[in-house]
Amino acid sequence: MKFTKDEIRASMLLYAVTDRMWLKEGESLVDVAEKVLQNGATFLQIREKDLDEESFEEESEKLKALCNAYHVPFVVNDSVEIALQCGADGVHVGQSDIKGRDIRAIIGPDKILGISAGTVEQAIAAEKAGADYIGVGAVFPTSTKKDAKPMETELLRRISNSVSIPVVAIGGINAGNILKLAGSGVDGVAVVSAIFGAEDPGRATAELRELSVQMVAAHE
């Protein structure tokens, strides 16, 4: 499934990143992901740190099929190989993943390529490397990356202004702080624990989507 540049920009609004550590007994990641998509998530990334390759690929295939049904882009975090094997819409990679590798050449022109960036220089280089969007953070303190220092809003604004491709903010974002990003120029927010760690992920998604709409509208 190919997405246009405008569709990719719009899909940054509420970018959900999976985290299986929050799953309750008897609950599958696909079950929770469906609730999240039903309630307005506009993009889905599978992030797995501990699954073996076969299980990672199987889970990715299930989530890809689910995202297809909702016409929502689906990308795999870090693993270009899994992304290609499962037919994902694309891949999201960090700075360490792109050193010495032309990811765009590996995945081809039609896959979505997201690259993490923490500086203006990294953002500009990511766009030149063929990125379709940039993930920037951590914008707030986060439990998923304990070594990440929160980013000043001014730097976030400068990064957003330095590129023509969409920018999604990530890191510690929740319903209580999302509106602090108003005026930063980002196209949306990427959320992990505030969705997958919520008591009711569906309700949390609906609330975050509404707040993200307000946040993005406040840039203007």
d(CA 39, CA 195): 11
d(CA 16, CA 19): 10
Burial class of residue 87 in the structure, from the number of CB atoms within 10 Å of its CB (0-12 exposed, 13-18 middle, 19+ buried): middle
- Cα angle 107, 43, 144; round to 5: 90
What are the residue ranges of helices labelled H in the chain?
5-11, 29-38, 53-70, 80-86, 95-98, 103-107, 120-128, 153-162, 193-196, 201-217
16-45 average pLDDT score:
97
* 143 has a pLDDT exceeding 80: no
pLDDT-above-70 percentage for the chain: 97
- Please tell me the predicted confidence (pLDDT) of residue 220: 67
88-100 average pLDDT score:
94
The pair of structure tokens assigned to 87 is: 């037919």
The topology (CATH level 3) of 5-217 is: TIM Barrel (3.20.20)
Helix axes 153-162, 120-128, angle to 10 degrees: 30
- Please tell me the predicted confidence (pLDDT) of residue 146: 63
153-174 pLDDT, tens digit each: 899 999 999 999 999 999 999 9
Contact between residue 55 and residue 26 where contact means Cβ atoms under 8 Å apart: no
What does pLDDT average to over the chain?
95
18-30 pLDDT, tens digit each: 999 999 999 999 9
42 vs 2, which has greater pLDDT?
42
36-60 average pLDDT score:
97
* 75 has a pLDDT exceeding 80: yes
108-140 pLDDT, tens digit each: 999 999 999 999 999 999 999 999 999 999 999
User: pLDDT category, 149, cuts 50, 70, 90?
Assistant: confident
63-79 average pLDDT score:
98
Question: Which residues form the catalytic set?
Answer: 47, 116, 145
- Please tell me the predicted confidence (pLDDT) of residue 145: 64
